[in-house]
Chains A and B, each alone.
Chain A
Amino acid sequence: MIYQLIALSLLGIGLYGLVWRKSLVGMLISVELMLNGAGLSIVAASQLTEADGASGQIATLFVMGLAAAEATLVLAIIIVVAKRFKSTETDAVSRLKG
């Protein structure tokens, strides 16, 4: 149970950072924290209960792979945004001037 609470607070910290951060890179860091909370929760749930341990670990491996893909894409998007807007601040980008 205490593992679930740690994972839950990782999710909460990530959500807090997602709203609090002003730049896209900071938001990417927050999303990584939330994905880690998810992985920890899945592994703890599968290892500490009667559930199948292997499928839980495989699910977490899939979460890690998706996180890697997402980080790659977000990095590319950040670079494009930084080139076009000369800034990665969300307030500056959200004005929608083409």
Chain B
Amino acid sequence: MLAKLAFVVYAVFVLGGGCLAVGAHSLVRALVGLICSLLGVAGMYMLLAAPFMAFMQILIYVGAVCVLVFFAVMLTRADAGGEEAGARKPVKAFLSSLAFISPVFILGLVIVNFQPASKAIPVEVPLAELGQGLLGDYTLAFELISVVLLAAMAGAVLLTFEKRGGHSA
């Protein structure tokens, strides 16, 4: 009973935050909506008996990615009277509704019609097993992720690097 109530609360967080994130005119408000949505997803991870995933969600997404997006908001002129304000063409509304409806309709039909047998109570995976998976079976992917992160950060630094005396790189 309590789990169902918590699920409804988290679902409201996720969907309401998502709607705020795409609908708000001010990008800072959109960012607040994104954070709400991410926290709701973290709560759903808790309900799915994956507390480590919930902590990682809060650490990586809310802690790191949202701060990055906030830097992007601050470093560009993305305030309330900025680029998101103003009217859009009606054809854009049609296209974006189409982008929402078509995958949700098709995949939703598939999900509702072909449900696998699901467990009522999820089992928590012990943390040691996760660590063994990361450093045992999936070592190559784990190391590749670090290489990708390093390349991304080096690329970011290079992209924003300004030549002394010259124009921006």
Contact = CB atoms under 8 A, between A and B. Distances in A.
Interface string A52-70: 0111011011101111111
A72 B48 contact: no
Interface residues of B, number: 83
B65 interface: yes
Nearest to A18: B99
Nearest to B71: A75
- Name the prevailing secondary structure of the B interface residues: helix
A4 B155 contact: no
Nearest to B162: A83
A22 B76 contact: no
B163 interface: no
A79 to B, nearest CB: 5
- Name the prevailing secondary structure of the A interface residues: helix
A11 B22 contact: no
Interface string B143-164: 0010011011101110110000
A33 B37 contact: yes
A3 B93 CA distance: 28
Nearest to B67: A71
Interface residues of A, number: 70
Contacts of A4: 111
Given A20-B92, A57-B53, A5 B145 contact: no
A40 B77 CA distance: 32
A1 B72 contact: no
A17 B86 CA distance: 16
The 9 closest A-B pairs by CB, nearest first: A17-B22, A76-B156, A69-B152, A19-B96, A16-B100, A12-B104, A47-B122, A20-B96, A13-B18
Interface of A: 1-6, 8-26, 28-30, 32-33, 36, 39-40, 43-44, 47-50, 53-55, 57-58, 60-62, 64-80, 82-84, 87-89
23 contacts: A3-B44, A4-B111, A8-B104, A12-B101, A12-B104, A16-B99, A17-B96, A19-B99, A22-B86, A29-B21, A29-B31, A30-B22, A40-B44, A48-B119, A49-B117, A53-B122, A55-B138, A57-B52, A58-B138, A62-B145, A71-B69, A76-B156, A76-B160
